[in-house]
Amino acid sequence: MKPKADNLLAQNKKARHDYTIVDTYEAGIALTGTEIKSVRDGKINLRDGYARIQNGEAWLENVHISPYKEGNQFNADPLRRRKLLLHKKEIAKLQQALEQQGFTLVPLKMYLKHGYAKLLIGIAQGKHNYDKRESLKKKDQQREVARALRAGQR
C-alpha cells in the first residue's frame, strides 16, 4: 500500500481551475481540540475558502470543518474564522501581493506535517473563462499523449 503524499487531508482542486497560482506559502493553523480531530478524519471542505490579512494577522475564512461527532458541547462553529500562523515577514509579503489588483489568497491543500495541521495557501489571480477552456484543452492533450505512449510501449 502506497503512503499518502504529505499526509494529505484535503485538497482544493477547483482553485487551480479557477485561478492562476503565482506563489505558495505553508502556514500553520490555529484549531481547537475537536476541530483537529475532525480534520484528521478528513471532514474539511476548502472549496469556498479564502484568506485575508487584517491588522497584521492572517485569517482563514469560509472553510467548513464539520463538528466532531463525539465533541458535544466543545464543538466550535463549522465556518468560524481561523488564525493562520505565519511569520511577520511572510504576512508583509502577502499583504503587498494582495494590494495589487486582482490577487487573492486561496487555500490549496491541508496536510499533516510532524503531527501539526498545515495549510498550503496560494497567491492567486482569477482566470477568465477562455483561460479555463485553454487549460482544459492542454490537460486533455497531455492525457492523449500519455495514453498513446502507454499504448506504444505494449
Q: Cα dist. 20→45, 66, 105 in Å?
A: 20, 29, 11
Q: Structural domain tally of the chain?
A: 1
Assigned domain for 142 exists: no
C-beta of residue 66 within 8 angstroms of C-beta of residue 31: no
Assigned domain for 147 exists: no
Q: Residue 89 pLDDT more than 90?
A: yes
Assigned domain for 143 exists: no
For 137-148, b/e burial (b = at least 16 CB within 10 A) is eeeeeeeeeeee
> What is the C-alpha separation between 12 and 25, in angstroms, rounded?
15
* Residue 49 CB partners (closer than 8 Å, separation 6+): 12, 60, 61, 62, 63, 106, 107
Q: Residue 34 pLDDT more than 50?
A: yes
Assigned domain for 110 exists: yes
- 91-119 pLDDT tens trace: 999 998 888 888 889 999 999 888 888 99
Mean pLDDT of 145-149: 88
> What is the C-alpha separation between 143 and 147, in angstroms, rounded?
6
Assigned domain for 69 exists: yes
Q: What is the pLDDT of residue 5?
A: 57
Domain with 79, as residue range(s), is 7-127
Q: Which three cell numbers stand for residue 8?
A: 494529505
Assigned domain for 144 exists: no
Mean pLDDT of 29-41: 85
Q: Write the CATH number for 16.
A: 2.40.280.10
C-beta of residue 39 within 8 angstroms of C-beta of residue 65: yes
Assigned domain for 146 exists: no
Among 28-37, 122-131, 138-147, the minimum mean pLDDT is found in 122-131
Q: Residue 3 pLDDT more than 50?
A: no
Assigned domain for 89 exists: yes
